[in-house]
Each structure stands twice: as C-alpha cells, then as structure tokens.
C-alpha cells in the first residue's frame, strides 16, 4: 500500500513541476541574453562609444545660389517652374530687353561716324606732312638764292670800290640780298607752321581715338546689359523659391529665385565649446539624417568656425551689464559629405558623431586600444 501511494503521489506532482521548469529555462535564457547584450554594449562603448562626440544640433547645408536681377525691367518669361531640375546654362528668367537693344544699337551707330572722322584726320595729316616737305624744298631754294645774292652783293661792292660798276648796280645787288634773306625767313616760318599743323592734327586724332575707345566700351557695356536680361542656371540643380510672376516689374538686386545644387552638400554641426578639444580637422564623422534613419553616412571634418554662433547674431549678448548667467556656447563645425550621398535636402536635421581618435592632430590615447 505504501508503494502504491507513493507512485500515485509522484504521478500527481509531475504536471505541476513541468511549467516551473520551463519558466526557469526562459528566465535563464533571458538572463543570458541580457548579460550578452550588456556585455556587447559595454564592449562597444569601451572600444568606440566613449570616443564619440555627439550632437543633434546639426543640419544639412548647401551653397544655394540666389538668382537676382542686375537690371530693372519687366519679367518677360519664366521658362522654369518651382522644384524643376535644371542644367548649367538653362534659362531661368527673361527680362524685357527692348530698351537694352535700343541702347546697344545707339552705341553701335556712333562707331562708323568716328571711323570716318579718323580717316579724314589721317588724310589731313598726310596733306600737312606733304606741306612740310614742300616748304622744306622751298627753304632749300631760298637758301640757294640767298647764297647767290650774297655772292653778287660782295662782288658788286668790290667792283663799286674800284669804280667798275655804278652805285645803282651795288644798290640793286644789296636789295636782292635782303629779299633772299626775307624769303629764307618766310620759308622757315612756313616749315614751322606746317609742322605745327601736323602736330595739331595728330592731337585731334588722338582725341578722336580716345572717343572711339569710349564708344567701344559703351558698346561692350550695352552688350553686357543686354546679356543680363537673360538669367541662367549657374550649375546643375533644382529651382526653388520662385518669387516672381510674368509681367512683374523687378528692380536691381531683387531676388527672383534660388537654385539648390545637385552635389556639394555638407553638415553644419553646432558643438558645445566643451566638446571642441576632441574635434580635429580630418576627423571621421558618422552622420544620421532624421529623414533617413536607417542610413548612416560617413563624413569628414573640414573646418571649424573662428567664432561662436552668438558672435554673428543680430543682437549679440552684452554680458557686461546686469546679472551674469553663464551659457555654454556652440561653435559651428563643417563636415563634408560624399558626393554620392542620395536623398539630401538642404535644411534637413541630422545627428552627428565625431571620432576624437581620428584627424590630423588627434592625440594618441593609450586606453583606446
């Protein structure tokens, strides 16, 4: 009876002990998983996590080109629409060019007149130089006549002294000599006048040539103004923030649209001043974009701002007045992204982690091994 009773008792307790065993097994398994997970995360923090400098005050940036008008005029055409992709050189906005075409034609019309004026002056210079040559020839003739008259006057004076010729012949020879002297002086004056006329014409030509240069510059300026009536995309990108309509009058410097580039995105991360000691140029950074949580992009620190963000604010804080409360400042750090990074949009929020062990001036941390 005792044996049967014991067998019945064992048969009744077996169903109750089975769930307890399974529960212990589950708890033991969870404990092992938790222990392994803690060990993994602890090892990850010890080898990597403690060297990562993190901030969530970071945003995607790009060198956006603001398209502005350089001339005043009415908008004639807007060939593109907002959020449309464009290639470098594509037309974005056309400003009415009627007035600028007229200005160019007026400037161009003055050039032929100046060219004809220069041709006339050149002909006058040639004629004046011929007059100089002619007067020089006349001077040679008067000098020859003067030489002959001087010789005759000297001979007549000697003959008159010996009573060979009369006094009237001597007077005639002297008069002829004085006339030859006067003719030579006149020829010399004519040469000076002709040479002065040549210089005057050359000065007039130089002045006209200067005017032509001014006219050519006016034509070039008119051509530039006409070219500025067509605004083109400076690079491949996407048109955004179109702020005008056709027929609208725009003024000089008015912002018309913006172009966001396809490439060249970077991160502007604002780190606390207490974190800067571990950030170095060339350091590697892990970037997570909030809009793409599953993707981690590797970037590189390329520059640190020379001042905190508050220095460039519109109204910087004046800590020299009133009560002082110390506030940790932030310094912008620029992080370059690879050109093949997809899905980038300027202004997206990001989380950045910088490895303080990397970079050009990174210290050798012994316990990093």
pLDDT of residue 189: 85
Mean pLDDT of the chain: 83
> What pLDDT, on the 0 to 100 scale, is given for residue 7?
46
In the predicted model, what is the mean pLDDT of residues 93-107? 93
In this predicted structure, the answer to whether residue 365 has a pLDDT above a threshold of 50 is no
Give the contacts of 53 (CB within 8 A, at least 6 positions apart). Answer: 271, 275, 278, 279, 353, 354, 356
pLDDT at 10 over 50: no
pLDDT class of 251 with cuts at 50, 70, 90: very high
Cα first-last separation, the chain: 72
User: Using one digit for the tens of pLDDT, what is the confidence trace for 171-208?
Assistant: 787 788 788 888 888 888 888 888 888 888 888 888 87
Alpha-carbon distance values, 308 to 26, 270, 304, 311 (Å): 54, 9, 10, 6
* Residue showing tokens 């014409």: 201
Report the CATH number of the 98-227 domain: 1.10.287.620
33-41: average pLDDT: 76
* pLDDT over threshold 80, residue 72: yes
Alpha helices in the chain (DSSP H): 2-47, 98-161, 167-227
- Work out the percent of the chain whose per-residue pLDDT is above 90: 38
pLDDT of residue 44: 63
CATH class in words for 65-97+229-260: mainly beta
H or E element in which residue 341 lies: none
pTM: 0.64
For 227-250, letters b (16+ CB in 10 Å) and e give: eebebebebebbbeebebeeeeeb
The yes-or-no answer to whether 50-63+262-368 and 98-227 have a common fold is no
Span 4-32, average pLDDT: 63
CB count in 10 Å sphere of residue 354 = 28
CATH architecture of the domain with range 50-63+262-368:
Beta Barrel (2.40)
pLDDT exceeds cutoff 60 at 274: yes
d(CA 86, CA 77): 16
How crowded is residue 95: how many other Cβ atoms within 10 Å of its Cβ? 22
Backbone angles phi, psi at 362, to 5 degrees: -70, 135
Rounded Cα–Cα distance for residues 333 and 310 (Å): 14
Here the tokens at position 299 are 């970037």
Task: Give the mean pLDDT of 72-97.
Answer: 94
Residue extents of the structural domains in the chain:
50-63+262-368, 65-97+229-260, 98-227
Lowest mean pLDDT of 262-276, 298-312, 318-332, name the range: 318-332
Residue range 105-124: mean pLDDT, rounded:
85
Lowest model confidence (mean pLDDT) among 18-27, 67-76, 254-263: 18-27
pLDDT one-digit tens code per residue, 121-178: 888 888 888 888 888 888 788 888 878 888 877 877 777 777 776 777 767 877 887 8
Give the pLDDT score at 119.
85
209-231 pLDDT, tens digit each: 888 888 888 899 999 999 999 99
| pLDDT interval class at 368 (50, 70, 90) | very low
Compute the distance between CA of residue 262 and CA of residue 238 in angstroms, rounded to an integer. 7
């Amino acid at each position: 009876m005792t044996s049967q009773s014991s067998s019945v008792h064992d048969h009744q307790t077996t169903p109750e002990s089975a769930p307890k065993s399974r529960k212990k097994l589950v708890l033991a398994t969870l404990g092992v998983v938790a222990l392994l997970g803690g060990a993994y995360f602890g090892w990850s923090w010890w080898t990597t996590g403690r060297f990562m400098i993190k901030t969530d005050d970071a945003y995607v940036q790009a060198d956006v080109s603001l398209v502005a008008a350089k001339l005043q005029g009415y908008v004639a055409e807007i060939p593109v629409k907002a959020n449309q992709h464009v290639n470098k050189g594509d037309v974005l906005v056309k400003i009415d060019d009627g007035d600028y075409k007229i200005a160019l034609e007026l400037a161009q019309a003055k050039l032929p007149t100046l060219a004809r004026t220069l041709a006339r002056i050149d002909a006058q210079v040639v004629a004046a130089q011929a007059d100089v040559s002619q007067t020089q020839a006349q001077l040679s003739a008067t000098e020859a006549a003067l030489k002959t008259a001087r010789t005759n006057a000297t001979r007549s004076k000697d003959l008159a002294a010996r009573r060979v010729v009369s006094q009237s012949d001597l007077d005639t020879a002297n008069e002829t000599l004085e006339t030859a002297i006067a003719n030579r002086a006149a020829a010399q004056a004519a040469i000076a006048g002709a040479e002065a006329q040549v210089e005057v014409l050359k000065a007039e030509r130089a002045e006209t040539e200067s005017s032509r240069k001014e006219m050519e510059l006016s034509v070039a300026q008119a051509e530039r103004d006409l070219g500025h009536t067509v605004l083109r995309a400076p690079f491949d990108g996407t048109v955004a923030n179109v702020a005008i309509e056709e027929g609208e009058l725009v003024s000089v410097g008015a912002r018309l649209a913006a172009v966001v580039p396809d490439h060249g995105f970077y991160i502007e991360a604002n780190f606390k001043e207490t974190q800067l000691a571990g950030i170095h140029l060339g350091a590697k950074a892990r970037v997570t974009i909030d809009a793409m949580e599953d993707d981690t992009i590797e970037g590189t620190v390329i520059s640190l701002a020379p001042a905190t963000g508050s220095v460039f604010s519109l109204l910087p804080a004046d800590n020299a007045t009133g009560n002082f409360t110390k506030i940790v400042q932030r310094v912008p750090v620029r992080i370059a992204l690879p050109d093949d990074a997809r899905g980038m949009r300027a202004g997206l929020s990001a989380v950045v982690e910088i490895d303080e062990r990397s970079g050009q001036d990174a210290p050798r941390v012994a316990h990093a091994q």
